[in-house]
Structure 1
């Protein structure tokens, strides 16, 4: 089991498949944590696509994405659903931040995120 990091802590590396919506195209790729090393990164763990609380939470982050990016931060949403579910969720809610698939809960466990 991992531990909850403090701001500025160096955490272990992992790579998750994900995608982000750009206009009408959902771009899929792998997202290695190491590519963000030394840069502000906000990881938004959520239990499921299209659930009421998660939808409100992700929409809030998406609505404020420009402000976070202007402060130099990158935002990744992470949940256990697959990429097809993430693509549908992003298209339905017009979410422009990358949504990563943590089906084996590797990232969640590394940050001590409990099962939903």
Structure 2
């Protein structure tokens, strides 16, 4: 297997993850249809997912998870540190898109530095 293949696959996965995060933001969190539907009484699973994601955003769970994993990845040796950095990016990229960019940017930078080390 060529040495660049895992890096290329990781970049493709992260690009897809970024586009999925934007899809969640614009199709679920900011779409007017869900704002109106979830304001009234009713049990739609989409409204429950939206409310749970709203709490996750409010408490900055994704951003702090990403920064915690990125910090641990800095001290982990070998492939474990590399995989922790990828996992940190999995948490930090949606945090960037979903309104917690001030903290998540540090997680992305730390995880990116660990990936290229």
**If the TM-score is normalised by the length of the shorter chain, which range does it land in?**
under 0.3
Higher strand share goes to which structure?
A: 1
Higher helix share goes to which structure?
A: 2
Alignment TM-score, normalising by the size of structure 2? 0.26
Q: Which has the higher contact order (CA 8 A, sep 6+)?
A: 1
Alignment TM-score, normalising by the size of structure 1? 0.26
Larger Cα-atom Rg: 2
